[in-house]
Amino acid sequence: MSPEELENSFPDAFITDKQMIELGDGVKVAIYRFLPNELVSKNGKDTIVFIPGFIGYLENWAIIINKLVSLGFPVVVFETREKKSSSATDRSARFSIEGFLQDFKEVLETINLTRPFSIVGVSLGSGVAIEHAAYNKKQELTPRKMVLLDAIYESTQVNWLITVAKLPCQLFKLLINLAIKLAPILLWRIKKREEFTYKKILSNLKEADPYKMRWALLQSKNATIINDLPKVKNPTLVLGIPNDLEHPYEQSLTVAQEVQNGFFVNMENDEKLHSEQTAIIIADFLMEKSSFKNIS
């Protein structure tokens, strides 16, 4: 996001900062810091490391981030390298779940968090969070808790999108741009069923870099992490949606059941998942203000 977009999407009362971090293979990824104002910053609350989903547009999560910051949580957003903000230009760059995991580890080591932290991961971001919790051996990089929104344990990309991704880059870009223009026709079923989800998908496509999107689709098409779920010991809250148009509810429920200390909340619909209510649930879980039923 540009400085202007940051200013427009997030309250002036909060300090916002964007930083580009260079990773081991030379690719730079974006980190955004959203800090509470001085009145609420000295409260010892966890820093929240937020990982959006595949090509997810940060502004789609502005309501939740704004609310978390207003409740006193510093939020650090890590944008994975398939986002437009990264400097990745070569299709040989790591766009697999293993690559994203390595990136996340390097980012955590670089930003040097000074207080306990928890992770909020969305879709692909939930997969990165799960893999980090399953394999991390460093105490200083261990999240205290995790909250996973639309959690998945294997790729959910539809077959036609994978097929289109196999086409030459220029043709793929042309088709994506055409899909954006024809979205009211191509996505009419989604629009009729849930207007909010339609607008979210459209904004994500408009903000996506077609080349990075294509490379990531091809490298992650067969990704699965279901066997790693039992290795996750951190208290983990999963928020899922029945009849989700992009993320199977059964996958979210399975994640909560298979990790060692899992909890689950049914958020009913996509718009509710993106609302302040989700931020309040996250805050309650991190501060242990409400009881959540363990389903592991």
**Domains (range + CATH), the chain:** 3-157+224-287 (3.40.50.1820)
Compute the average pLDDT of residues 144-165: 84
Highest mean pLDDT among 113-117, 164-168, 182-186, 237-241: 237-241
Q: How many CA atoms lie within 13 A of 135 on its CB side?
A: 14
Better pLDDT: 38 or 56: 56
Confidence band for 15, pLDDT divided at 50, 70 and 90: low
The phi, psi pair for 288, rounded to 5°, reads 60, 40
Instruction: Measure the CA–CA gap between 4 and 166, rounded to whole angstroms.
Output: 36
Output the pLDDT for position 259. 98
> What pTM was estimated for this model as a whole?
0.88
Q: What is the pLDDT of residue 106?
A: 96
φ and ψ of 60, to 5 deg = -65, -20
124: Cβ contacts below 8 Å, ≥ 6 apart: 51, 53, 54, 56, 80, 97, 100, 152, 220
Short-list 108, 47, 105, CA closest to 72: 47
Q: Is the pLDDT of residue 42 over 60?
A: no
- Determine the pLDDT at residue 12: 46
The Cα 153–Cα 282 span in angstroms is: 21
Burial of 50 (0-12, 13-18, 19+ CB in 10 A): buried
Q: How confident is the model at residue 166 (pLDDT cuts 50, 70, 90)?
A: confident
In the predicted model, what is the mean pLDDT of the chain?
86
Q: Is the pLDDT of residue 249 over 70?
A: yes
* Res 150 pLDDT > 90: yes
Instruction: Give the tokens for residue 192.
Output: 């009729």
Q: Is the pLDDT of residue 199 over 70?
A: yes
Please give the residue that has the higher pLDDT: either 275 or 197: 275
What's the average model confidence in pLDDT over 15-39? Answer: 86
**In this structure, what token pair is assigned to residue 211?**
């080349």
Torsion angle defined by CA atoms of residues 149, 155, 158 and 159, in that order, rounded to the nearest 10 degrees:
180
Report the range of poorest mean pLDDT among 119-123, 241-245, 262-266. Answer: 241-245
Whether residue 92 has pLDDT greater than 70: no
Sheet strand arrangement including 75-78: 15-22, 28-35, 75-78, 47-51, 117-122, 146-149, 236-240, 262-266
Of 81-90, 141-150, 222-231, the one with minimum mean pLDDT is 81-90
Q: Which residue has the higher pLDDT, 4 or 255?
A: 255
Residue of 218 and 117 predicted with greater confidence:
117
* Predicted pLDDT at 41: 53
User: Over 80: is that where the pLDDT of 258 sits?
Assistant: yes
Of residues 52 and 40, more confidence is placed in 52
Q: Where are the beta strands (DSSP E) in the chain?
A: 15-22, 28-35, 47-51, 75-78, 117-122, 146-149, 236-240, 262-266
Q: What is the dihedral of CA 201, 204, 206, 207, to 10 degrees?
A: 180
Task: Grade residue 73 by pLDDT with cuts at 50, 70 and 90.
Answer: very high
- pLDDT above 90 (res 58): no
Closest CA to 100 of 56, 64, 69: 56
